[in-house]
Amino acid sequence: MFDIARRTALGAVLLLLMPAAVWISGWMWTPGGDPAVLRPLYWVTETVSEPWGILTTVILCGWVLWCLRFRLKPAAVLVVIIVLSLLAGQYVKDFIKGEVREPRPYVAWLGADHQMNIGEFYALKNKARARQVKDILGDNAQIPHWLNKSWQNDTGYAFPSGHTMFAATWALLGIGLLWQRKHYKTVTVLMVWAVVVMGSRLMLGMHWPRDLMVSVGISWLLVMLACWLTERYVGPLTPPPAEKREISERE
């Protein structure tokens, strides 16, 4: 378990590098980014948003189980542990958001540049917030139509980032579950995907760098718990001798 903690902690540090660098640099989100850059980032962020996040979970669960070659019963238990870890992250996110109540960057911009009362905005129900965003922006040329719609669908608080927590949890689960079986390509893809998801949240005006950093820390704690539960109720994450031979042949 110590080796898993060490590897996943290193993975968390790697995920923290980008938002930490952005925070230190003093970069602040402003509207009017290049749509050619923002649109692909929007597609990436949608892999985590509802309902596509469910499909992402199904695909990644299937791939992880294929990599691990678990029998039916331990595979089912592992899926339950993974799903509960993801759901726990979203529950923690919702609880903290309700306590901290930090406005999103785009909401702060609407308050500063469009004289919107942020306190009154967050006192409204979600549908009323969406209508207010739509009414204020109108046909604002700085904001693409698809980003306008995205903001209308995501009017909650900023801190922490649920999208980051979802992607970072999957990336660190990849390290915890698959690294010892030498599925390095899968781990690399998950890590890169998580970093791009995090970057998309910054570039689309949804989060501040500190939101991402705290989310990565929470994800690491959840992954540590998930790996401990896996070793306790499913079995050791080190590959058995027969699989070690298969891994050697694969390499």
Complete DSSP assignment for 154-205 = --S--SS-HHHHHHHHHHHHHHHHHGGGT-HHHHHHHHHHHHHHHHHHHHTT
Catalytic positions: 163, 207
pLDDT at 72: 79
Write the burial class of residue 245 (CB in 10 Å: 0-12 exposed, 13-18 middle, 19+ buried).
exposed
Q: 132 pLDDT exceeds 70?
A: yes
pLDDT of residue 50: 86
Contact 137, 148 (CB under 8 A): yes
Backbone φ and ψ of 145, nearest 5°: -60, -40
List the single range of 11-15, 79-83, 103-107, 181-185 with lowest mean pLDDT. 181-185
Does residue 246 surpass a pLDDT of 90?
no
pLDDT at residue 6 above 70?
Answer: yes
Is the pLDDT reported for residue 249 higher than 80?
Answer: no
Lowest average pLDDT, out of 42-46, 137-141, 181-185, goes to 137-141
Residues 233/77, Cβ–Cβ less than 8 Å? yes
Query: Tens digit of pLDDT for each residue in 72-130?
Result: 788 898 999 999 999 999 999 999 998 999 999 999 999 888 888 899 899 999 899 99
Question: Residue 4's pLDDT is what?
Answer: 83
Rounded alpha-carbon distances, angstroms, from residue 34 to 40, 41, 136:
11, 11, 21
Q: What is the pLDDT of residue 248?
A: 59
Give yes or no for residue 172 having a pLDDT over 90.
Answer: yes
The token pair that represents 73 in the structure block: 């019963």
Tokens 């903690």, residue located: 5
Rounded average pLDDT over 173-178? 92
Residue 225 CA to residue 228 CA, distance in Å, equals: 5
Task: Give yes or no for residue 251 having a pLDDT over 90.
Answer: no
Residue (of 210, 216, 23, 220) closest to 100 by Cα position: 210
- Confidence bin at 162 (pLDDT 50/70/90): very high
Q: Which amino acid is at 96?
A: I
Say yes or no to pLDDT of 193 above 90: yes
Question: CB of 68 within 8 A of CB of 132?
Answer: no
